Structure 1
């Protein structure tokens, strides 16, 4: 999570050689999310604007679990062992990756994914831009079918902090 996405995205691109693969723009074209990679993967790092206005919070860490069917298998195991599932298995609009979000005992969100989304081989790739200034486009970019992601997906991060009173555009 980032209090301001654009300078972080610029650092990754200009200083570390990342390519901007997908971008979410909110009101007044403010960057609220960026997905970047240094390889042909659709993303190796992503950042989203922290609605609390804080710095230094984690949205989630992701681990490749195998193929999409494996996500259903691990969802069954999570249910059997009482591991909290926040959402999934499902598929994101952004990156087209399959996912399962769970919480580890310390409260951090973990994403297990069963593929890498799409691969990019075109050297002239143009960034996919999502205009999420309206809620329906935000939801389509987050998940491509019902049910929608829970509100916690958009505002929960660790460490938990008291929100700063501000308007995020």
Structure 2
């Protein structure tokens, strides 16, 4: 018997500030809060395509920011946006959101017609937003 996967069910992100990160996903990106586990603590958010578990990191001196060039782990998340106009509208909303670091504004992806931008959400996780359709 052969087995295969059929897409992503959910993924989990460790965050420094559960309140700020869940607020960003819910109030800026429009995700819905679909659950929580206060004893972890964790908040579960979802859009129409994927669920994300946001886990609170322990607040101690050992917490390190992820360095995509030196640490093994999730390099970034990439969310698809329907078209270039919506990508630009989303960037306009995100760029003024509290505690967001912009890596770069919307630009073409190499020599393709795709456009994208990268940010760091309030806890420092790197997120790409990409549109492949004009």
Give the TM-score taking structure 2 as reference length. Answer: 0.42
Greater relative contact order (Cα 8 A, min sep 6): structure 1 or 2? 1
Q: Which has the higher helix share?
A: 1
